[in-house]
Structures are given as structure tokens and as C-alpha cells.
Amino acid sequence: MTITQLKYALAIAEHKNFTKAAEKCFVTQPTLSTQIQKLEDELDIIIFDRGKKPIELTDVGRKIVFQARNIVNEADRIQDIVDQQKGFIGGEFRLGIIPTVMPTLLPMFLNNFIKKYPKVKLKIEELTTEEIITRISDGHLDAAIASTPLESDNIKERVLYYEPFVAYIPNSHRLRDKKTIEVSDLDIEDMLLLEDGHCFRDGVINLCKSFKNQTDDHFQLESGSIETLIKLSNEGMGMTLLPYLHTLDVQEKLNTNLRHFKEPSPAREVSIIYHKSELKMQIIDAMYDVISGIIRGAIAFQNVEIISPISK
């Protein structure tokens, strides 16, 4: 049994196809065939059921592959240890970011980060929290930036900042004349929300729920981007809530539409999250340092109340 064979088995389990797996492993398909056969022979069990199309794992095969994942992960950490020793911060680093954080946070730290750590090959993807959790768990992402706490077993969280909710209140709205908003002012019925799947949407719903026992899920307008929410709001479709960093982008003439919450302001917790195995921890540490250094200048709220990002 070799680590290579285990990697091959993992690739096949993932792609359910020898040929594609072979490509991903940068070898030919016969190489995979023979190596998997050798592994199966040595263990004297069948890992893959080639009878079915696409290929399926046998019961033992599933356990073997699960354990192979552990072994390969642990093996990858050897390189990690070496990198740490050499003070080397580099290699591929796959980062997921949730949609409501992406456009504001990414421009703030990206330049800074790639300048400071030019050897890191960043691969950034915009993903929902749910997708992020899946991909961190199965090793397709090294880390992600998401709203926390997530209460996910094999994922660790490290808080980057607390980002208050800010109300965006258009002309002629009933709350227009208030200087500061209170949570009890909110009515989910005239609140513009992001479409389903965004954790910021869930946060807002939780916030409103916490004061009104609103369980009716019948809302009128939903959008995929915060920019759209603002435009819809300007059209008089209702008020909305924005994450604080987004308000820095709001055009000056619309600035008057913003209302901060009375302290303790409701806020979302934004964290860098990663697998509990702590693979590539040096890069995660580096990214944490860069982001929290930058954010310190941008957000300086102390008195906040954290709103859960998980729909309940």
C-alpha cells in the first residue's frame, strides 16, 4: 500500500470514473487500473464496484476511501511542517468567500496579501456558506471567509471582525425621520431581503424574529445582490439592511439614507474558517494577520450583539 495508490483511489472515488481520475492524477488510465488492482489484491477486498455505471464504492470501499482521505491529509502535513520550518508561505491556497463579504472585503486585502506573500497562488471562489462547509470538509477548500458561528463539527473558526447591520431607509419611509434605529422598529414585512441561500438573509430574518414571532415566510421581493437591494429600496419598495462595510461604498448623495442602530448594534461575526486538521495553517495565519490588520482601520465598533447566520 502506497500513498500514491491511496491518492488514486481518492480520485476515482471522487470522479466515479477511471479516465477522469487518471487525468487529475496526471497519469494514464491503465496506470490507475493496475495500481488500484494491486491495492485491492494486497488488501484482498474489492474497493470499487465496476459493475455499476457510474462506478460505485463497495461498503468496505467507502470505509477505505474515508481512511485514505485521513492518511493523505496527514501526509500533506509533512510538507506543511517543512514549509513552516523554512518560513515559506506559498503554494496553492483555495479560499471560499460568501457573496455578501466578497465585494467589500476582497478589494481591501487582496492586493496587500499578494504583495506580502507573492508565492501563494490564491484561488478564490464565491460560494454560499453551505457550499463552503461541504468543500472545507472534503478538502476542496483550504479556508473560507464566512459569517459565524456555524457549529460545524470539523470546521474551526477564527473571528476576523464584527460587522454591524446598518439600515438603509429610502425617502418617505415610516422610519425615515429616526436618527438611530432600534431592532424593535424592524418589520420583516417591509424589509427587502436577499434571495434564499444567503446567510446575510438568514441573519436579517433572525434579527427580526428576535422581536416579532414572525414565522411566515411569504416575502414579496428578493434579490441576489446588495446593490440591487439598494436600488429597489430607492424605488420605494421598502427599507433594507446592509452590512457595515457595504455602506462605505454607498454613493455620497445616498448617504443620507443610512441609519445606524442604537448600541448594542446588531452585527454579524465574520471569520476565517478552516478544517480542524489545520492544514496550511501558516497561510491561514498570514491571511488572518493581513485581514485583521486592515479591518482594524475600517471597523471600530465595540458594543455589538452578534446575530446568528444560520436559519433556524
Partner DNA sequence: ACAATTAATACGTTTTTACTATAGTTTTTA
Partner DNA sequence: TAAAAACTATAGTAAAAACGTATTAATTGT
The answer to whether residue 278 forms part of the interface with a second copy (CB under 8 A) is: no
User: By the 8 A CB rule, do 224 and 195 touch?
Assistant: yes
Residue 53 makes contact with DNA by CB under 7 A: yes
Number of H helices, E strands in the chain: 10, 12
Among the listed residues 30, 37, 75, 212, the single contact to a second copy using CB under 8 A = 75
Query: Cα-flanking dihedrals φ and ψ of residue 177, to 5°?
Result: -85, -5
Write down the least CB distance from residue 269 to a second copy, Å. Answer: 30
Cis amide linkage into residue 54, ω under 30° from 0: yes
27 part of the interface to a second copy, by CB under 8 A: no
Q: Which of 55, 132, 229, 241 binds DNA (CB under 7 A)?
A: 55
Percent helix, strand and coil across the chain, each rounded to 5?
45, 20, 35
Which stretch, 2-10, 118-126, 161-169, 300-308, contacts DNA (CB under 7 A)?
2-10
Q: In the complex with a second copy, which residue's Cβ is closer, 66 or 234?
A: 66
Residue 152 interacts with, from DNA, a second copy, none (CB under 5-8 Å by kind): none
| Residue found under cell 445616498 | 254
By CB under 7 A, residue 58 contacts DNA: no
Sign of CA dihedral 98, 102, 105, 106: positive
Site for a second copy in 181-240 (CB under 8 A): none
Q: Where are the beta strands (DSSP E) in 98-236?
A: 120-126, 143-148, 155-168, 191-194, 222-223
Select from 49, 59, 182, 235 the one that contacts a second copy (CB under 8 A): 59
Binding interface with DNA (CB under 7 A): 2, 4-5, 17-19, 26-31, 33-38, 50, 53, 55
